[in-house]
Amino acid sequence: MSEIPMAGSGDSTGSKPKEVIWASWLILLEAITGLIVVGIEFAFDYANDYTLLGLVLVVVAFILYPMILKQDYSAWLMVVIFNVIAIFLYLVGDNYPGAILSIIVLVYLISPNVRVHFEQNK
């Protein structure tokens, strides 16, 4: 007699690879950090056009976060493109910590051991 597997018990075969989990957490970290920076710039009346573009990138990052968890290839591609844009925006706006974080995320996402998890779901 075979047992019926229960949800949450034992080993789950549908678990996400750790690379995908790390990628999603890095994107969430970028979004939260960007939200804090945008909030500070608006609070101290230091906002400019780059701040509004940063706010758009924050909203896009929050939208792409669950898609990355689902290993969606188009979401991975959009995150790579938006990180390249964010790097230039951060450097133009003299936000070097933001640029460094975006570079770290970009390098991590395009590494072969991470990219393979998204390319198999094309």
Q: What is the pLDDT of residues 52-62, one digit of tens each?
A: 888 898 999 99
| Residue ranges covered by each domain of the chain | 18-119
Question: 35 is written with which tokens?
Answer: 């939200």
Question: 31 is written with which tokens?
Answer: 């979004």
DSSP one-letter code for 111:
S
Q: What is the pLDDT of residues 2-13, one digit of tens each?
A: 666 555 554 455
Tell me the residue ranges of DSSP E strands in the chain: none
Distance CA 30, CA 83 (A): 10
Q: What is the pLDDT of residues 57-106, one digit of tens each?
A: 899 999 999 999 999 999 999 999 999 998 998 898 788 888 999 999 99
pTM (two decimals)? 0.81
Cite the DSSP H helix spans in 44-111. Answer: 49-69, 73-92, 96-110
